[in-house]
Structure 1
Amino acid sequence: MGTIVFRLIKKYRERVIHNLSIAFGSEKDMGEINTLAQEVFFHFTLTPLETVYLIANGLPFERFFLKIKIKGKEYLEEALAKKKGVIALGAHLGAFTLLGTRLAVEGYPVNIMINQESFPKLWKRLNAYQGIVGQKTFPPKPIITSIKKSLNCLHRNEILYLVADEQQRRGGIPVPFFGQKAFTPSGPALFSLKTGAPILPMFILRKNRIQWTLVIGPPIEIERTSDEKKDIEALTAKFTKAIEDFIRQYPHQWTWLNRRWKLPSSKGFLDMAT
């Protein structure tokens, strides 16, 4: 399926190859980049199909999610012990749509800010199960409401799952990403500095066609200064580097479809939230 999509949809194929060339142009030749692009499309088509299959066939979700092993759980336990909440830093890497649910099945209080405008029927079915296991979801708009909900869940010492690897359409902070400046959402940094909640990188990564592992990394920290905006920029750069490091390990599991290095249109999240 991935190979068919790769060959038939020229626009997406060219965008993925273009982005891979920006990221790895000095490290890989075009043959390697084309091979990697096909692997990207394989993963990009397989993961959603797996989710649809689970929902359509009414399979026992809890049994499926418990098969996903958790590596680095001690980092999460230590962070929650501080009673300031935890920011789970995610990306469009691996099975990112399942991460919050896996944590909820484990018994953790999880909140996820996510845009569910695409595939509403699929999200409705998935949300029904997420609600049963205790995961809460809310949309990013209206922005003031989403900010309040995010801060409230951190104050309750819960987990806030944020995906922060796409180009910020309404601005963002320019930080290095694969050697190029990319305008990046500052939300994780802003919430962390406002509340003291640690930022932990978390990704569900495919080990093979039937095995996944939820990998939790150590907290991402900076030495704070008296300049809040500089601190937000520094922390945004640091968590972006953490995302890049994971993508470098599993490049075929990132989508590469976002116009990650495109210039923004107007003021960003940081300007609206501070």
Structure 2
Amino acid sequence: MKSFMKHTIFKYGLKLFFWLGKILKRHHLQNFSKLLGSFLYFIPWSRKKIAFENLKIAFQVQYNKKELKKILKNFIQEVILTALEIAFIVKKKEKLASWAKADGLEILDEALKQKKGVIALSGHIGNIPVMLAWLAEKGYPVAVLFKEGKYLPRGFLYNLINSYKIFPIPFRSDREVPKEIIKALNKNMIVFILADQARPGVYAKFFGKKVQCQKGAFVIALRKGCPIVPVFIVRENEGHRIKIYKKEKFLQLPALSRNDSFSLSDKSIVDMIEEYNSLLEKLISQHPEQYYWFHRRFKKSLP
């Protein structure tokens, strides 16, 4: 019964958002998101509680309880705004050129020249669909690993991603995903992986805690010898800014054969993960309301 209710809420919620995306003007989106977000902030629901607990863990030193509650409210408004922007872009068939600016495109260009494909490490911050669609519109060969939402209509994200000429890599199993990523890399594509969810792998530092971090992207990069480029998007003023980082030790990775002896939990992999975590942590600290705090990021964390 609970699952049926969630499916129903998501189904009609999507219809509402896409209807709003059709009728609202772009300059109305932010005001409407503040109104709806403020309303949702005062309603008790489980994910809101998870988000607040995550904020307390991450920022217990920097902010007091009142300040954390303000960030939580701003975060809920930001989630609504992101959803409205996506609905607006889809319904209006909006071109993305005016929606974002990018720092460091030359880093992606240089990485692609290696002809080994590129793993673009990103995270759940900012309006990710805008980032992917903007780059695809610019002519970059973009692919993205994603998982269909549990309560979304079947094939919803796949169809949305595919409609923007982005190559979709649906998460089906831990065995199949690496094969699909390697196929895309062999085509010299930029494969986006959002590597900041808690999954069994290794423990690495994030906001002062040792959290579970996925290592698959780094293992594939070492096997293929393909460059890793951290790429994120954040909202700044009235637009979005794509930030592309140059990390030398990510750009010149040696290709290791299956016979090469190295531990998958080797310190070198943990070091790379913590380098990525530190970039993401810095961005989150600058824009705390833009990170997706609904995830149980500190689940099974260690001191």
Q: What TM-score range do you get, normalising by the shorter chain?
A: 0.7 to 0.9
In the alignment, which residue of structure 2 is the partner of 1:21? 56
Q: Indicate which of 161, 179, 197 corresponds to 1:127.
A: 161
1:75 aligns with 2:104: no
Spell out the pairing of 1:65-144 with structure 2 (5 A cutoff).
65=97, 67-117=99-149, 118-120=151-153, 122-123=156-157, 126-130=160-164, 134-144=165-175
In the alignment, which residue of structure 2 is the partner of 1:271? none
Q: Indicate which of 211, 229, 236 corresponds to 2:273.
A: 236
DSSP 3-state at the match of 1:227 = coil
In the alignment, which residue of structure 2 is the partner of 1:199? 228
DSSP 3-state at the match of 1:54 = helix
In the alignment, which residue of structure 1 is the partner of 2:240? 212
Once the 2 structures are TM-superposed, how far is the Cα of residue 196 of structure 1 from its aligned partner? 1.8
d(CA) in 1 for partners of 2:87 and 2:173? 29
- Per-residue CA deviation, residues 3-46 of structure 1 (Å, 9 max, x unaligned), is 21121034223222211111110121112111111111110111
Aligned residues: 255
Q: Indicate which of 229, 241, 249 corresponds to 1:221.
A: 249
Q: Aligned AA for 1:145?
A: E
Structure-1-length-normalised TM-score: 0.85
- Per-residue CA deviation, residues 162-202 of structure 1 (Å, 9 max, x unaligned), is 0011111xx12111110001101112211221112222111
DSSP 3-state at the match of 1:143 = coil
DSSP 3-state at the match of 2:212 = strand
**8 Å CA contact 1:115, 1:140 repeated in 2:** yes
Once the 2 structures are TM-superposed, how far is the Cα of residue 67 of structure 1 from its aligned partner? 3.5
Identity of aligned residues (%): 27
In the alignment, which residue of structure 1 is the partner of 2:4? none
Q: Indicate which of 153, 165, 183 corresponds to 1:152.
A: 183
- Per-residue CA deviation, residues 43-71 of structure 1 (Å, 9 max, x unaligned), is 0111012212332x3x133x234542121
What root-mean-square deviation, in Å, do the aligned CA atoms of Structure 1 and Structure 2 show?
A: 2.3
1:259 aligns with 2:287: no
Structure 2, gaps ≥5 residues long: 1-35, 255-259
In the alignment, which residue of structure 1 is the partner of 2:78? 43
Structure-2-length-normalised TM-score: 0.77
Q: Aligned AA for 2:223?
A: K
Structure 1, gaps ≥5 residues long: 265-274
**8 Å CA contact 1:101, 1:135 repeated in 2:** yes
